Amino acid sequence: MSGPKSTDLALQLLRKLPRIGIGNLKPLPQFKSKPYGRGPRNTGIDGGRNYPEQQKKGSQPPMGFEGGSSPYYTRHPVQWYYRDHHLKRQYPPLSMFSLQRSIDIGLIDASSPIDLVTLCNTQIYKIDPTQRHFGVNLTEDGLQIFKAKVNIEVQWTTEAVIAAVERNGGTITCAYFDPYSLAAMTDVKRFFEKGIPIPRRTLPPENCLEFYSDPKSRGYLADPAEVSRARVELAQKLGYQLPDLTKDPQYEMLTRRKDPRQVFYDLEPGWIVNLQDEVVLKPADEEVRQYYRS
Amino acid sequence: MDLLFRTAQSRSRVSPAFGLLRRHYWPVVEEKKPVNPEHTYIPVVESAEDFKYVQKLLPPIVAPPVPVQSLMNYPTPSGWIPAAPANSNAPYFVGRSRIHGLPVYMEVEKPSYTKKFTKIKKVQGDIWQFEKDLIDWLRPHSFDALVATQVSEVNREVRIKGDYMEHVKQFLLERGF
């Protein structure tokens, strides 16, 4: 009795394998092409240029030397127009249209306060604190169709956006977060898994302290009384009826604000989150608590 | 990887770790050390009630369902329209994305960034009939009554040369997709 032949086994295998394409074929080793311009000797770490005596005697070429061709770091001249670009803060934009769409399809819940954490959790908006992104810039695109009533906390916005949010009975605040806090907010799960205390937010740097203390831009450091006055003034300036927040059933939600040292709603700085055991660890030492609360 | 120029790493003849250019904003947490009773640790209070605030912050794994308000009153302020209940008469079906959007995308050819393509994904069923109907729909809107398409049957995609995003979306919504 003969068993399955090699051809039968091959055909059985072929039935189960995925379709052949460019992406899942691999050449045999002898047909692999060699790196351009390099023979069998020059395919190592140093391209055959760094012979042993050179290392021993110290007669090596300068750092970045490319064997004679212009090194990369001297090829392009330094231009004055992009000076300090590496020091400037960036606020990746999020349009009001995008915000309204997210609320319409249920990605964002408008019945609780919206902040950068909520926006990053939707995964349709991302920022990278290591690239000098300092938060969300709510832009005017889609301002006319914006109908949601929200309590939103952003990092940069314009007067027209503030008016559009307040006209619908919502509130908007501009708050600053330092890169340490932003790294925690943009990827919350990763941060909690680290087991580091929730950071204490720092105050904004000098060149934007005025913006965040200005009631006109609804800064989080501004006097709340002046902010209320600015709301009325803006409504008069642009000619819309400002709804009365005190008569709103969602008044408490709309007036919720974070402390200037607080990063997450309902969680204080200094606390450690234990995701495994589902507990929150709070420091009991008075000195430590005073530090985090100052 | 070949090194055509000399760097600090090439001196030691080990493979260069280019991926280590990473800024750390958080302190590097040390490896677990044995607990020393002589060291004084900060006393800590555990709280399980406050963990509910943490759960609110964690991102959901699956997109939450569409609120009933949007399903009853459409088009919503942002212009979103839900998909109609599926009927088995049509020879093809175009599914929605994970966040309930139409699967119509704009592609731009690199590196010139001048050529545009409109891509329709998630086409199930008779994709060739879908392509035919789509061409008939788009022909009045094209410049020279020609609509160049490319069908990728295995990937369930149809690609059209040019910017036909709004027209394609209208085509899909009329058929209830």
Give a yes or no: residue A116 inside a domain.
yes
Q: Which of A45, A76, A107 is the last residue of a domain?
A: A76
Report whether pLDDT(B8) > 60.
no
| Whether the Cβ atoms of residue B139 and residue B145 lie closer than 8 Å to each other | yes
- Among B147, B116, B145, residue whose Cα is nearest residue B132: B147
Q: What is the pLDDT of residue A59?
A: 73
Q: Does A18 touch chain B (CB under 8 A)?
A: no
Give the C-alpha separation, B76 to B82, whole Å. Answer: 9
A62 shares its domain with A200: no
What average pLDDT score do residues B83-92 get? 87
Residue A4 maps to a domain: no
Query: Can you list the domains of chain B with their CATH numbers?
Result: 92-174 (3.30.780.10)
Assigned token pair, A33:
């092409």
Give the closest residue to B69 by CA, choosing from A147, A19, A179: A147
Residue-range definition of the domain harbouring residue A48: 29-76
The reply to whether A127 and A245 lie within a common domain is: yes
Residue A260 lies in a domain: yes
What stretches of chain B adopt beta strand conformation (E)?
A: 44-47, 92-94, 104-108, 116-120, 123-125, 149-152, 157-161
Quick check: B30 pLDDT over 70? no
Using one digit for the tens of pLDDT, what is the confidence trace for B120-156? 999 999 999 999 999 999 999 998 889 999 999 999 9
Same domain, A168 and A60: no
Interval A111-169: pLDDT, tens = 999 999 999 999 999 999 999 999 999 999 999 999 999 999 999 999 999 999 999 99
Q: Which residues of B touch A279 (CB under 8 A)?
A: 46-48, 51
Q: Nearest CA to CA, how far is A134 from chain B (Å)?
A: 14
- A35 touching chain B per CB within 8 A: yes
Chain A stretch 172-231, residues whose beta carbon is closer than 8 A to a beta carbon of chain B: 179-180, 183, 188-189, 191-192, 194-196
Are A103 and A230 found together in one domain?
A: yes
H-helix segments, chain A: 6-16, 52-57, 72-75, 96-104, 116-121, 159-167, 179-186, 188-194, 206-213, 224-238, 251-254, 286-293
Q: At residue A170, does pLDDT exceed 90?
A: yes
Asked if A129 and A240 sit in the same domain, the reply is yes
Q: Report yes or no on A144 lying in a domain.
A: yes
Peptide bond just before B27 cis, omega within 30 deg: no
Does B99 lie at the interface with A, CB-CB under 8 angstroms? yes
Question: In Å, how far is B129's CA from the nearest CA of chain A?
Answer: 24
Which of A105, A194, A264 comes nearest B99 by C-beta? A105
Asked if residue A149 is part of any domain, the answer here is: yes
Exposed, middle or buried: residue A42 (CB in 10 Å: 0-12, 13-18, 19+)? middle
Average pLDDT along chain B: 85
Q: List the structure tokens of A290.
A: 């005073």
Residue type, B19: G
Task: Give the helix, strand, coil percentages of chain B, each rounded to 5.
Answer: 25, 15, 60
CB–CB of A112 and B56 under 8 A?
A: yes
Please give the ipTM for the structure prediction. Answer: 0.79
A249 touches chain B (CB under 8 A): no
Distance CA A135, CA A262 (A): 16
- A60 located within any domain: yes
Q: Classify residue A5: in a domain, yes or no.
A: no
Lowest mean pLDDT segment, chosen from A68-72, A127-131, B77-81: A68-72
Number of domains in chain A: 2
Residues A140 and A68 in one domain: no
pLDDT of residue A1: 58
Q: Please indicate whether residue A102 or residue B19 has the higher confidence score (pLDDT).
A: A102
Do A54 and A196 lie in one domain? The reply is no
Best to test chain A binding among B10, B57, B80, B154 (most A CBs inside 10 Å): B57
Q: Judge whether residue A38 has pLDDT over 70.
A: no
Whole-number pLDDT of residue A20: 84
Confidence of residue B21 (pLDDT cuts 50, 70, 90): very low
CB contact under 8 A, B65 and A38: no
Q: What is the pLDDT of residue B17?
A: 39
Q: Is the pLDDT of residue B29 over 80?
A: no
Residues 6+ apart with CB under 8 A from A167: A235, A240, A241, A242, A243
A87 lies in some domain = no
Two structure tokens written together for A84: 């300090």
When CB atoms are compared, the residue of B27, B51, B77 closest to A145 is B77
| Token pair for A148 | 């949601």
* Chain B residues with CB-CB distance to A43 below 8 A: 2
Instruction: Report which residue type is found at A31.
Output: F
